Amino acid sequence: MEIHQLRYFAKVAELGNFTRAAEACFVSQPSLSQQIIKLEQELGQPLLERLGRSVRLTRAGEILKPRADQILALLDDTKARITDDPAGGRLKVAAIPTVAPYFLPHVLQDFSHECPRAHLEVVEEVTTGALARCHAGEVDLAIVALPVQGEHLHVERLFSEELLLVMPTGHPLDAHARISLKDLSRQPFVLLHDTHCLTRDALSACHRQNFQPIVAAHISQLVTVQELVSLGQGVSLVPQMARQMDTSPTRCYRSLSGEKPTRTIALVWHEHRYQSKLFKRFVEWLRKRCSRDTAAEKR
């Protein structure tokens, strides 16, 4: 049983497709398939059911998959300890979709100037997926919105930000000097799907004002929410970081009066995993950056 065979098998099991797994492992599909066949022959059991373009784990595959993940994680952890370099190496960061495109690009660009030999890989996942990857050791850390629940996960608050009302330009409410959350009780909302924590935060804010918002649409991407707002399909609550990148004249943003809806962004990592020198350097750099940015906003 070869390590590369386990790595190929685990990647096919994760992605459910031989072609995508071969691309992720940087090998040809025939080579990847042949190595998995050899692994199956050695074990005397089929590990994968080939179902056209997709695959499914057999009973033997279901037994092997968590053990393969443990073996590969242990090997990767051992390699990281031996080759630890505070200015180089690789970090894998998961981030939720309402953070990744708005917060991470500038962060990664600035950190690359700090550590030009470091390679940071980003995985975009909803909260449940990001935490699962943290727990399985598939990513080094995750950037998500609180609250967070999970065994053996260390959670560290980074910063809080306001959720702003976004509405189409010329909306009647924009003429009001002050707009409260209660003023939106009769407005249709365009929200992300329930798998996104931003929807949870928006609904919780409405519920605290004793109303259930009228949801006109559930969308997969925040940029689509913004475009539907422009078309007059409804209003929404959008993070401050997304507003800062929006230059469209078809939408306007307002800070709500009274109790302002907010969300808190946090770092999460598995407390029992080895923390490389590069990991510690990145986390400390990110702490200082967020603290500096928060202080600047208050001035």
- At 297 the pLDDT is 74
Q: How confident is the model at residue 274 (pLDDT cuts 50, 70, 90)?
A: confident
Residue 166 scores a pLDDT above 90: yes
Pick from 4-13, 40-49, 72-81, 168-177: least confident: 72-81
User: Between the ranges 77-91, 111-125, 208-222, where is the mean pLDDT highest?
Assistant: 208-222
Q: Is 24 within 8 Å of 11 (Cβ atoms)?
A: yes
User: For 142, how many CA atoms within 13 A lie in the half-sphere containing its CB?
Assistant: 32
Helix (H, G, I), strand (E, B) or coil at 166: strand
User: Between 77 and 259, whose confidence is greater?
Assistant: 259
- At 86 the pLDDT is 67
Q: Is 126 within 8 Å of 95 (Cβ atoms)?
A: no
**Tokens coding 6:** 């386990």
Q: Is 132 within 8 Å of 161 (Cβ atoms)?
A: no
| Fold (CATH) for 88-159+264-298 | D-Maltodextrin-Binding Protein; domain 2 (3.40.190)
The dihedral sign for the CA sequence 213, 219, 221, 226: negative
Q: What are phi and psi of 123, to 5 degrees?
A: -120, 120
Residue 83 scores a pLDDT above 80: no
Task: List Cβ neighbours of 24 (8 Å cut-off, separation of 6 or more).
Answer: 11, 15
Burial degree of 134 (CB within 10 A; 0-12, 13-18, 19+) = buried
- At 135 the pLDDT is 87
Pick from 39-43, 105-109, 239-243: least confident: 105-109
Q: What are phi and psi of 275, to 5 degrees?
A: -105, 110
Residue 299 scores a pLDDT above 70: no
Pick from 113-127, 159-173, 214-228: least confident: 113-127
Pairing of the two strands 188-192 and 214-219: parallel
Dist CA 166 CA 229 (whole Å): 7
DSSP 8-state code for residue 180: B
Closest of 5, 1, 48 to residue 27, by C-alpha: 5
Q: Does 3.40.190.10 match the CATH number of domain 161-262?
A: yes
- At 200 the pLDDT is 95
User: Between 41 and 276, whose confidence is greater?
Assistant: 41
Closest of 187, 15, 260 to residue 36, by C-alpha: 15
Q: Is 10 within 8 Å of 72 (Cβ atoms)?
A: yes
CATH architecture of 3-82: Orthogonal Bundle (1.10)
User: Between 188 and 138, whose confidence is greater?
Assistant: 188
- At 293 the pLDDT is 85
Dist CA 48 CA 46 (whole Å): 6
- At 62 the pLDDT is 95
Closest of 19, 24, 17 to residue 50, by C-alpha: 17
Q: Which residues of 270-291 are buried (b: 16+ CB within 10 A; e: fewer)?
A: beebebbebbebbbeebeebbe
Q: Kindly list the domain boundaries of the chain, sorted by start residue.
A: 3-82, 88-159+264-298, 161-262
Dist CA 18 CA 25 (whole Å): 10
Same fold? 3-82, 161-262: no
Dist CA 24 CA 17 (whole Å): 11
Task: List Cβ neighbours of 271 (8 Å cut-off, separation of 6 or more).
Answer: 152, 153, 154
User: For 293, how many CA atoms within 13 A lie in the half-sphere containing its CB?
Assistant: 14
Q: How confident is the model at residue 74 (pLDDT cuts 50, 70, 90)?
A: confident
